[in-house]
Amino acid sequence: MKPETPITIIVNGQDKPLPIGTKQISYDEVVTLAYPGQGDNGVNIIYTVSYSNGPEMNPKGNLVKGKVVLVREGMIFNVSRSDKS
């Protein structure tokens, strides 16, 4: 059996290595990778998360708050911030 290797996902154009053994990622984790330290500090900020190049079970789509998706090497996430005011 081959040893597990870390996988790297792409968030807003930047490589983000994930811990060895990571199989899925949550909405909150992706937002934190895209905007470190800026999570839910603004009540009027909405994050939109879309993804592509995912595994067969979830090849592309949108990730919403409270949900997770399975990840694979080279998966691409795009996170945008907007003010809902």
For residue range 40-79, list pLDDT tens digits in order: 555 788 899 999 999 999 999 999 999 999 999 999 999 9
pLDDT for 11: 98
Find, among 19, 21, 71, the residue nearest to 49 by Cα: 71
pTM of the model: 0.89
Q: Are 9 and 34 in contact (CB under 8 A)?
A: no
**DSSP helix/strand/coil, 1:** coil
Q: Are 63 and 16 in contact (CB under 8 A)?
A: no
